[in-house]
């Protein structure tokens, strides 16, 4: 995937990093500094960018490894592939969760009762589902609300979550490796016995299209956050100037 570094961190060229920085900078002046709120807001902004970068690197490493040794390699090479897949799927969901944390803290400044952040229990309760529901009630019709609801219904997100949950909480799944048995036809790539999402082919096409979806999804969310911050935080900046 093509990478670029508009503000110092190399990220996918299709990720709107400059716009994401603009969005953050609209919000920051309205949040008390120093404070836990500003730390969480900026930390979530970093989280989106850092986890996405990690996701890109895990994908590149996995693709290179599969090209070199295939999908049914020795146990040592298989370990490397499992580490790369674990990092890829966990980092991808983490990027989306960090974005959700970011917008939750932004909305908390506007509607503190609807987006509670005052106690450790409040922080632990932040989730994509709860944030999307709160946006639906407090900011109906906003492009960001629509984008959050669209993501919640996306089948690709469901697959990501299914794979992440297996890898992070259950197992390193087995593989079905096929042999040629003397046939002239190409041998199918191994099947990754990942439940409930699987089987998924262990080949060089496993991570790139999923990474493309992740980058596109984050880009859509950030683009939808732009008018939201212009409406609710741009006026604050005007009053300060």
State pLDDT tens for residues 51-74: 999 999 999 999 999 999 999 999
Give the contacts of 118 (CB within 8 A, at least 6 positions apart): 112
Place of tokens 């229990």: 121
H-helix segments, 70-138: 75-110, 120-125, 128-138
Has residue 22 got a pLDDT over 90? yes
Has residue 127 got a pLDDT over 50? yes
Has residue 231 got a pLDDT over 50? yes
Radius of gyration of the chain (CA): 20
Query: pTM of the predicted model, to two decimals?
Result: 0.92
Q: Which residue has the higher pLDDT, 8 or 228?
A: 228
pLDDT band at residue 168 under the 50/70/90 scheme: very high
Has residue 26 got a pLDDT over 80? yes
Identify the pLDDT of residue 182.
63
Has residue 210 got a pLDDT over 50? yes
Identify the pLDDT of residue 179.
83
Give the contacts of 98 (CB within 8 A, at least 6 positions apart): 44, 45, 46, 47, 48, 51
Has residue 137 got a pLDDT over 90? yes
């Amino acid at each position: 995937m093509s990478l670029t570094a508009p503000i110092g961190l190399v990220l996918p060229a299709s990720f709107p990093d400059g716009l994401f920085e603009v969005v953050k900078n609209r919000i920051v002046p309205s949040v008390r500094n120093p404070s836990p709120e500003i730390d969480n807001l900026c930390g979530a902004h970093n989280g989106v960018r850092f986890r996405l970068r990690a996701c890109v690197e895990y994908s590149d490493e996995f693709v290179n490894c599969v090209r070199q040794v295939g999908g049914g390699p020795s146990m040592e090479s298989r370990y490397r592939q499992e580490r790369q897949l674990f990092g890829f799927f966990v980092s991808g969901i983490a990027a989306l969760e960090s974005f959700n944390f970011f917008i939750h803290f932004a909305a908390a400044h506007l509607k503190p009762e609807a987006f509670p952040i005052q106690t450790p229990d409040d922080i632990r309760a932040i989730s994509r589902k709860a944030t999307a529901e709160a946006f639906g009630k407090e900011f109906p019709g906003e492009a960001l609300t629509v984008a959050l609801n669209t993501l919640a219904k996306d089948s690709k997100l469901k697959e990501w979550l299914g794979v992440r949950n297996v890898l992070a909480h259950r197992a390193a799944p087995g593989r079905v490796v096929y042999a040629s048995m003397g046939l002239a036809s190409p041998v199918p790539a191994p099947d990754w016995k990942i439940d409930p999402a699987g089987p998924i082919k262990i080949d060089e096409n496993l991570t790139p299209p999923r990474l493309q979806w992740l980058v596109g999804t984050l880009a859509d969310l950030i683009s939808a956050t732009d008018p939201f911050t212009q409406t609710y935080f741009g006026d604050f900046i005007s009053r300060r100037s």
